[in-house]
Amino acid sequence: MKALSDKAKISGLTLVEVLVVIFILAVLVAMLLPAHVRGGPAKLTKCISNLKQIDLGFQLSASDNGGIFPIQKSVANGGTMEFIYSDHVFPHFQKISKMLVQPKSLACPLDISRQAATNWEALNDLNISYFLNADASTNNPSNTIMGGDRFLQVKGQPVLPGLLVLSTNSNVSWTPNFHVQGGNLAFADGHVEFSQKENLNSFIQNQPLATNRLCVP
């Protein structure tokens, strides 16, 4: 066998050196990625956990009130109905604070524009990442959306904070660049599903509801 020249020996890289180079490149790429992309799977899991806690809180509240959610009862009767048209979502969450462990569960770790609240008294809409469906029902709860990620758009336009009234033929999708082109939906029976951008309309249309009034923080 012909021996390698000194020049060839110098220019070649050993396997260890190649692996080191690949590792360094991987670290550099990870450092350059946006924060909402790094750690995506773990943050998605945390978001699902948050919604399950929220779901449970509203379920427990409804079970204590004849199957009616606080968002569907007047303030005089211990509910938060009047806040539906006030453009404030936080009073609905404050109402179930005794059912939730801590207010930081209301902020999605991927929602970099929202900061988790440190206590319930200081809670406001800027501490919340999730919308609520004012028309959610305990009838056929497995198909009824209770809430979900606030990253919504209608006909390609991002939804602004406030009340969003949808009909069954509204063209709704998720805002790109969050949760890998999708989002999480919490249902009135307590389960949470990840919805891709293209099938969000199907989830909405399959509900036993004529309209959906979404309170978006």
Best-predicted range by mean pLDDT (58-62, 91-95, 176-180): 91-95
Q: Is residue 107 part of a domain?
A: yes
Give pLDDT, residue 24: 61
| CA distance linking residue 129 with residue 108, whole number of Å | 6
Number of domains in the chain: 1
Q: Is residue 33 part of a domain?
A: no
| In the chain, alpha helices (H) | 6-11, 15-32, 40-63, 90-95, 200-205
Please indicate whether residue 9 or residue 59 has the higher confidence score (pLDDT). 59
Q: Is residue 206 part of a domain?
A: yes
> Does residue 82 surpass a pLDDT of 70?
yes
Q: Per-residue pLDDT averaged across 137-154, rounded?
A: 93
| CA distance linking residue 67 with residue 18, whole number of Å | 63
Summarised one tens digit per residue, pLDDT across range 94-131 is 999 988 768 999 999 989 899 999 999 999 999 999 99
> Does residue 42 surpass a pLDDT of 80?
no
Residue 27's CB is within 10 A of a number of other CB atoms, namely: 10
Beta strands in the chain (DSSP E): 130-133, 145-149, 152-154, 157-158, 162-167, 172-174, 182-187, 192-196, 211-216
Q: Is residue 14 part of a domain?
A: no
Of 25-29, 72-76, 166-170, where does mean pLDDT reach its minimum?
A: 25-29
| CA distance linking residue 152 with residue 215, whole number of Å | 12
Question: Which domain range does residue 51 map to?
Answer: 45-216
Q: Is residue 181 part of a domain?
A: yes
> Could you identify the residue written with the tokens 């509801």?
209
